[in-house]
Structure 1
Amino acid sequence: MADRQAWDTDILIAGGGLAGATLALAICRLVPGYRVTVVEAFPLSGDPAPGDYQPSYDARSTALSWGSRQIFERLGLWPSISAQAAAIRHIHVSEKGRFGVTRLDASDHQQPALGYVADNRWLGLCLMESLAQQPDIHWLAPAQAEGVTSLQGGVRVMIRQDGEARSLTSRCLVVADGGRSGLREALGIGIQKEDYGQYALIANVSTEQPHQGVAWERFTERGPMALLPQVGGPEDGHRSALVWTLSPADLEEVLALDEAGRCARLQQVFGWRLGRFTRFGESHHYPLALTTANECVRPGVALVGNAAHALHPVAGQGFNLALRGLMALVEAFRFARDNDMPPGDLRVLERYRQQHAPDQQQTIGFSDSLIRLFGGGYPALGPVRNAGLAGLDIVPGAKHWFARRAMGVAAGGPSRPSSDRDREHWQ
């Protein structure tokens, strides 16, 4: 205990976005006793409490798998999140111009939903409301973690806040500052990056026909796209989140169109299964690449979320993989606490790496293979893709495997608790 008091904090989380905030809450709820400091580059939100939330048509959203719902239930967050989460009851996977189709239905798996879609802002509000009730969490925002020095038993982190530099000592640093992690670069941790040569265009769209809880995965000769159901707002039931993969040239053409032109172009690619596209909201775009860090742990340091791995968004696996990684890290911290070890001890962090690595490798492999098989044209592979989709739809074992992947419960699902006390959450 005396050694612990020599440190400014036990666990310093660099990045207070969805991944960093969820980790802070999970530590306090599931492994109480640690002092947690969160360093976030943006000011804390001044948005109203969740009870006053009004959905925005153009809010960006995140797909949550069934396994992620289980994690949020364990953290006590799901009752609030579910109030503004659209249930994905069906998934329809198809390729333009081919007859092969795969249909997944939640009822086939005795579940009310295969997954959910929630606005990022809503997720943030629910997290912040819960975090405000945790006395062991200290926020530094806006502030930036700029450098790290290794110490015996921990690290010293250089912080810049209000134009002034200072340092904090911590027994463990968790890097959660996103795919363009400046702290990862400052640590000298390299990445493996495979550029897909495409962009993701993100927007909310409205359709003439209601989505009825269907998520559409559509593979075209130019790249894949997804339409995910959303709830809330004046167009409740007709609004979907679009993830549209485009080449640089196609992106430039689409961005040059007005709203009616974008709706018409999307109609050509997606088809008429939901009737006419009636609205095309504010769009965002970014280049697509598969990125993995060369190291995810070293003494006193762990990488999580997009700082550790960033995936193609169409398969909807990125944030869900990150959540499972967070829970694996929390279980490693539990091991450290129960065995009176520093949370940044390399033996502790290796437990996190070893538990998360198989899930990371399998999920990245599944997502990347899906995109490479269906997402880049390759006309010669058309019959193979077509037969694959048709086969998934008629072969129960293959379809079940694909559904388990989509639900985020394959390969053991979310990281399971190691203590009997928490086992009831997974029955």
Structure 2
Amino acid sequence: MTQVNLAIIGGGLVGASLALALQETARQRGWRIALIEPFAPGNAYQPSYDARSTALSYGSRLIYERLDLWQAIAQRAEPILQIHVSDRGRFGATRLQAIEEGVPALGYVVENAWIGHCLWQALDPDVVQWHCPAEVSAMRQIEAGYRLQLNDGSSLDCQLAVLADGGRSGLREQLGIAVSQTPYGQSAIIANVSPLEAHRGQAFERFTDDGPMAMLPLDGNRCALVWTRTGADAERLMNLSERAFLDELQQAFGYRLGALRQVGTRHLYPLALVEAQEQVRPNLVVLGNAAHSLHPIAGQGYNLSLRDTQALAEVLSDSQAALGDYAMLQRYLQRQQLDQQLTVGFSDRVTRLFSTAQPLLAAGRNLGLLGLDLLPPAKRWFARQAMGMGTRSL
């Protein structure tokens, strides 16, 4: 029977970030951390036109700076210098600019594989022990923590188990942790697109009566597309030829980046707001998409999860209580509760407001975009939300 202090179930970006955030404390206290991941991480980074990417907020950059990881991530991070927010067919528009906020960039778009590569390279195998490829097939509470049964027949005991195994966490369901789920009636088409003109670090949020879309700057003058449509229409767009798809995308997005020349592999994801009804139990934390899955258009999901991760690491490092102490874990949740409520609420309201075709609401959002340029305090609040700084000071 293997015994560890902390078992992180899921070695993706959230789980690996938690391991890194706790690495120094673990080294000082003699903790053993197990990182359990079903997919073997590649030893070498392989660039790909179709690589999935994440928009890291400026606040997330600050977290990775504290973890001494930003210098590595920045090598392939495309800065967002300006966000152009507009409403199709109406005059309302606003521009958020990094220079006006006094920051080098409002955020950064980075390929997930590169972030993962940087994280995995930074983990010390003497402190963080990989169990990979491996999955937890079952887990049950024991007197001082949890016993995890792995699919290779082995098992390990831990004082604290962290579920970071994604929005469709089977273990969350197995443990009887209920979720609230609010379908948006939309699906997101995710793909990389190459425009004719240089994007110059511009990100575009464009709102239409059929649903919002975002075009985010990537290296190599590519753009990461997030296009939300109703389920049936999204399926239709997925089945179009590349040329026909680009024609419809061009019509919806316009010519702010000139002609759209190439689109890569398209991926389709049904969208819903999913929140776990419990995020902590004695000896257990639910983290990342397993705790809350947000609509991707506002770009808040991973950044919120990273702030949760940093807060959890700080609470565990600052406390002298047993690693799975329930009162300590509740302190973590109380600390993050306001941030979670504000971020989930902001993301949900923006999604609903900018997905409606109702004339009065559409007119209201148009006036709201005009008003942001006329009311600097409101514009700064909106920018701080976009930068992941809504409840924190710069």
TM range (shorter): over 0.9
User: Please, what TM-score do these two structures have when normalized by structure 2?
Assistant: 0.97
Taking the aligned partners of 2:373 and 2:81, their CA distance within structure 1 comes to 16
Taking the aligned partners of 2:302 and 2:151, their CA distance within structure 1 comes to 28
What is the aligned counterpart of 1:406 among 386, 390, 393?
386
What is the aligned counterpart of 2:77 among 74, 81, 85?
85
Runs of 4+ aligned structure 1 residues displaced above 6 Å come to: none
Partner deviation per Cα, 1:246-305 (whole Å, 9 max, x = no partner): 112211221221111111000110011111110011111110000000000000100110
SS in 2 for 1:274: coil
1:93-172 alignment, distance < 5 Å: 93-131=85-123, 133-161=124-152, 165-172=153-160
Does structure 1 conserve the Cα–Cα contact (< 8 Å) formed by 2:26 and 2:127?
no
Taking the aligned partners of 1:378 and 1:355, their CA distance within structure 2 comes to 38
SS in 2 for 1:333: helix
Partner deviation per Cα, 1:206-240 (whole Å, 9 max, x = no partner): 11111110110000110000000001xxxx23x10
1:380 pairs with 2:323: no
- Report how far residue 60 of structure 1 moved: 0.5
Partner deviation per Cα, 1:21-77 (whole Å, 9 max, x = no partner): 11111110355332100111112324x2xxxx5531111100000000001111111
1:222 pairs with 2:210: yes
Q: Give the equivalent residue in structure 2 for 1:16.
A: 11
What is the aligned counterpart of 1:174 among 150, 162, 165?
162
1:35 pairs with 2:32: yes
Taking the aligned partners of 2:312 and 2:390, their CA distance within structure 1 comes to 19
SS in 1 for 2:296: coil
Amino acid at match of 2:235: E
- Report how far residue 328 of structure 1 moved: 1.0
Partner deviation per Cα, 1:341-393 (whole Å, 9 max, x = no partner): 21111011111111111101100000000001111322331210111011112
1:25 pairs with 2:7: no
Q: Give the equivalent residue in structure 1 for 2:237.
A: 254
User: Please, what TM-score do these two structures have when normalized by structure 1?
Assistant: 0.89
Partner deviation per Cα, 1:166-225 (whole Å, 9 max, x = no partner): 321100000000000011111110100000011010000011111110110000110000
Does structure 1 conserve the Cα–Cα contact (< 8 Å) formed by 2:204 and 2:216?
yes
Amino acid at match of 1:227: M
Partner deviation per Cα, 1:95-133 (whole Å, 9 max, x = no partner): 1011011110000111110000000111111111111x3
1:278-427 alignment, distance < 5 Å: 278-336=261-319, 339=320, 341-412=321-392
Q: Give the equivalent residue in structure 2 for 1:420.
A: none
Gaps of 5+ in 2: none
Taking the aligned partners of 2:364 and 2:232, their CA distance within structure 1 comes to 28
1:197 pairs with 2:189: no
Taking the aligned partners of 1:188 and 1:277, their CA distance within structure 2 comes to 47
Does structure 1 conserve the Cα–Cα contact (< 8 Å) formed by 2:139 and 2:148?
yes
SS in 1 for 2:154: strand
> What RMSD, in angstroms, separates the aligned Cα atoms of the two structures?
1.4
Amino acid at match of 1:381: L
1:59 pairs with 2:54: no
Amino acid at match of 2:234: L
